[in-house]
Structure 1
């Protein structure tokens, strides 16, 4: 018995047990994809991105013969310039909610179960865990966005072609909208992961993230009608700024250009992740 114990203990510090970033990355990938909620979230998001795209394609087709629908759509900057890219990318508004929740859960789930203590015991430096989670979440989000866009294109190709609004991959603006959707969702996921790392609570992390992504833009949109300063702030909110990379057509007054808007969103994500890195290093598990 003692000999066996000694042998096992003697193998513990062996070279093949050395913790490397590649192994931490593999561990985080297995953690995320072993959750049933991840598979359900991915499947539901792809289906809804395709469904919402098909609905928007039908709406664009109806707008061609209905001035009332055209007037209603023109009030939304995202729909002011109808095109195939608008229809195919339309579902990103829902997808951002899914990836935000998945990103928050990727780190708060371990805190809620106490598994994070075992993780940090295996990786005492801690920061490799955060960066591995970031890479896994970013890669998962990029894959989800690409598959969702592909499903959306398949669901809308025939109706958009019939209405003369087919997605044109030779159009740089259409390509920017497609690539921008992927970049936007990945950045939102990174921002959400950082918020989750700061709060370490699933409820608080999701509430904060959804409030930042959904509630604040609505609040400032209402305030903008009576206060000029609110309109200025509105343009620099994370989602409002980042969505400019997905939008097509002329830039509306008061909003940022696509490049500047995405830079603002990326700055938010970078700042939150930097704060999360400091917190992960300094706080107890």
Structure 2
């Protein structure tokens, strides 16, 4: 006598369609990013412009190195700082806003087009989807930051070697400066993802990035009030400024400047909080 075994439709579907692996989620996110050519072209263009800005800054300084300005009474003699000019703030700002915008677009772009519904219908595991986005965007922006930082440092110091003011990567704080200059790029991309998940609007996300990266530091500067300075020194771009500071230069730091370890921790906290906010918001809010 034969018996019949009843199989639930859910079980049959599971047997036919296995749960996607994390590598599958990464591949899917890569296809989404690659299909939007404007996004990675913007990052690539920003990287090239950032390198060009650093190289041009040092090239323009060669005249001043050959003919240094006259020493003023009461001031120390002129001393050129290859780190300050070779890893300039302008290039750093350009890369951070490009990376932050890329991170925000990868999140709010799917909500705007409605693609996020299809994504979560195919993969209900929202944490897995966000983890794939974080790893992909973080990896791409980290690569871009590393390229800009390394190419800028080695190229500019090769130019300065003939003037005997170039630095080696093993000298002083050079390695730390190069790493920090590269690390801030993926951190800002993750912050952009968090703002994109919170606001889900293109203009609001980009404006929020500009406020956080460039406007807030203007409100928390100076040495008059320590509590204001403490807040300002723990903003994202302030960390890279402290980590790329060259103590052998003629410039000085603030009275209440954070330690190097404190700046590294602050940068890591910004990245961790950004990822946590993105995961929590995407999991708990409806699409």
Q: CA RMSD in A?
A: 2.9
The structural deviation recorded for 1:25 is 1.1
Distance 2:164 2:38 in 1: 39
Greater displacement, 254-263 / 14-23: 14-23
Q: Deviations over 1:32-88 (max 9, x none)?
A: 1221222321332122122211232135434433448x99xx9xxxxx974333333
- Structure 2 CA distance for partners of 1:81 and 1:218, relative to 1, 3 Å: farther
Q: Which residue of 2 is the match for residue 205 of structure 1?
A: 205
Where 2:141 maps in the other structure, the secondary structure is: helix
The structural deviation recorded for 1:106 is 1.2
Aligned ranges 1:19-98 → 2 under 5 Å: 19-64=20-65, 65-67=67-69, 82-90=80-88, 91-98=91-98
Q: Deviations over 1:109-135 (max 9, x none)?
A: 111111011111111121111111110
Which of residues 270, 273, 280 is equivalent to 1:271?
A: 273
The structural deviation recorded for 1:203 is 1.6
Where 1:170 maps in the other structure, the secondary structure is: coil
Q: Which residue of 2 is the match for residue 261 of structure 1?
A: 263
**Could you tell me the TM-score, scaled by structure 1's length?**
0.82
Distance 2:95 2:285 in 1: 32
Q: Which residue of 1 is the match for residue 214 of structure 2?
A: 214
Distance 2:235 2:19 in 1: 43
Distance 1:246 1:31 in 2: 35
- Structure 2 CA distance for partners of 1:260 and 1:109, relative to 1, 3 Å: same
Q: Which runs of 5+ in 1 are unaligned?
A: 1-9, 75-79
Q: Deviations over 1:250-277 (max 9, x none)?
A: 6712221222112113212322322222
The structural deviation recorded for 1:233 is 2.2
Aligned ranges 1:227-246 → 2 under 5 Å: 227-246=225-244
Contact 1:180 1:245 in 2 (8 A): yes
Distance 1:273 1:127 in 2: 11
Indicate whether 1:247 and 2:245 are aligned.
yes
Distance 2:23 2:262 in 1: 34
Q: Which residue of 2 is the match for residue 102 of structure 1?
A: 102
The structural deviation recorded for 1:89 is 2.3
Distance 1:163 1:30 in 2: 47
Larger Rg: 2
Relative to its length, the structure with more helix (as a share) is 1
Q: Which runs of 5+ in 2 are unaligned?
A: 1-10
Greater displacement, 271-280 / 90-99: 271-280
- Structure 2 CA distance for partners of 1:204 and 1:166, relative to 1, 3 Å: same
Contact 1:184 1:243 in 2 (8 A): no
Contact 1:84 1:168 in 2 (8 A): no
